[in-house]
Structure 1
């Protein structure tokens, strides 16, 4: 049996739009503008431990925005 994976962003931000993870600053590579294409998935047993999940919208260190996950 394969483990079930859960989208951590959806658990931390129910009913909110997903944060953009590309296209915020690199408009040459992402001419269509910002959108979300990076995700953090956890196994179902970790779902109750999700305390936060976000994307750093201010970082310019890559063409992708770094994401973080906080477990309690």
Structure 2
């Protein structure tokens, strides 16, 4: 499901995340384990993948603009 920016409230977003977590427990646990490695290799791998995506030209700027 693709959600366009600024089309849902923060509460709706949180509800969608909770629903996804409840229905995709194994995927979430695998993701959390990967990004929690002590050597940060999992986080770096995910960050590099995101950085290489065409629609994510500048991930640092994206993080700055979406920080709560």
Query: Normalising by the residue count of structure 1, what TM-score does the alignment of the two structures yield?
Result: 0.23
Q: Which has the higher contact order (CA 8 A, sep 6+)?
A: 1
